[in-house]
Amino acid sequence: MAPGDLQEVLKGLRLDEASHAHPDLLVGLGRADDAAVFRVTDDVAIVETVDFFPPVVDDPYTWGAVAAANAMSDVYAMGGQVLFALAVAGFPRELPKSIVTEVFRGGADKVTEAGGVIAGGHTVIDPEPKYGLCVTGCVHPRQIFIKGGLREGDMIVSLNAEELSSRRELYMSLWKHQPGEKLTFEVMRDNSVRRLEIIGGDRAEFFKAV
């Protein structure tokens, strides 16, 4: 389903309203991101994602490995580590079982390589083959990477691990970096600290605009 169509479907459910909010849901439906993040303790948050797709290569082992790597990449994109995964798959009834085995083997090997483990899964009969993973990872609640850049109301705590206490310190720190350089901000948002990666812009063009 296209992102725009999905947004239209979810809009009717009103899942982003206060009645569906939870103080420990740090990343959810409020803004599109790579995975959901739920705080368990002050030091541990669970990262959860699911992804699957039809074959992208002819070799079944390679397809399994690629699909697994793609699913796990969402956990890494949030700054997390992979713990375990559940396989999600659909195959035609007539597909040779040896091919299905190789798909599963490719996925399992890739998860093992990442330091995780396949803990189970679910399969259905489907005329079009599909395979992927539901991946569970963990991350420190103060070290989450999120999409979307800075928002109005964010309080910037640090830039590239350098603590900031004033706007002047922020400007001085920004001035040290070149356009196109990747910058890591820690910001206070919704009563929790989030980590953002932003590509720096052209300073001269910015000051011309203001």
Q: Indicate the burial class of 116 (C-beta count within 10 angstroms; 0-12, 13-18, 19 or more).
A: buried
Highest-scoring range by mean pLDDT, 70-84, 108-122, 151-165:
108-122
User: What letter would DSSP give residue 20?
Assistant: G
What CATH code is assigned to 148-209?
Answer: 2.30.42.10
For residue 47, the surrounding DSSP H or E stretch is strand 45-53
Confidence tier at 182 by pLDDT (50, 70, 90): confident
pLDDT tens profile 96-107: 999 999 999 999
Output the 3-class SS for 94-156: CCCHHHHHHHHHHHHHHHHHCCCEEEEEEEEECCCCEEEEEEEEEECCCCCEECCCCCCCCEE
Instruction: Give the start-to-end residue ranges of the domains of the chain.
Output: 3-139, 148-209
Is the fold of 3-139 the same as that of 148-209?
A: no
Distance, CA of 84 to chain centre: 15
- How do beta strands 45-53 and 36-39 pair? antiparallel
| Among 72, 51, 52, CA closest to 131 | 52
What CATH code is assigned to 3-139?
Answer: 3.30.1330.10
Highest-scoring range by mean pLDDT, 21-25, 39-43, 153-157:
39-43
